[in-house]
Amino acid sequence: MKKGQRTKQALLRIAYSLFISRGYENTSVDDIIEEAGIAKGTYYYHFESKEQTLEEVIGMMIDQEAEAARQVLSSGAPVPQKIVGIIASLRPRQEEQPIEGALMRPENALMHAKIKRRLVETVVPLLSEVVEEGIAQGIFSCDNIPERVRMLLVISSEIFDEGQFTQRDVEVFIDITEKLLGAQPGTMDFVRALIH
Partner DNA sequence: GATGAATGAGTATTCATTCAT
Partner DNA sequence: GATGAATGAATACTCATTCAT
Footprint on this chain of DNA (rule: CB under 7 A): 2-4, 7, 26-30, 38-46, 49-51
d(CA 53, CA 148): 33
Please report the sign of the dihedral spanned by the C-alpha atoms of residue 51, residue 54, residue 59, residue 62.
Answer: negative
Please, what is the end-to-end C-alpha distance for the chain in angstroms?
42
Q: Nearest Cα to 73, choosing from 124, 138, 130, 145? A: 130
One residue of 2, 3, 168, 196 binding a second copy per CB under 8 A: 168
Residue 3 contacts which entry, a second copy, DNA, none (Cβ below 5-8 A, type-dependent): DNA
Tally of CB atoms within 10 A around 13: 15
54 vs 153, beta carbon nearer DNA? 54
One residue of 74, 95, 144, 193 binding a second copy per CB under 8 A: 144
48 vs 121, beta carbon nearer DNA? 48
CA distances from 105 to 144, 161, 176 (A): 33, 11, 26
Stretch that binds a second copy, among 31-39, 57-65, 87-95, 101-109 (CB under 8 A): 101-109
Q: Point out which residues bind a second copy (CB under 8 A).
A: 25, 106-107, 109-110, 112-114, 143-144, 147-148, 150-151, 154-155, 158-159, 166, 168-169, 171-172, 176, 179-180
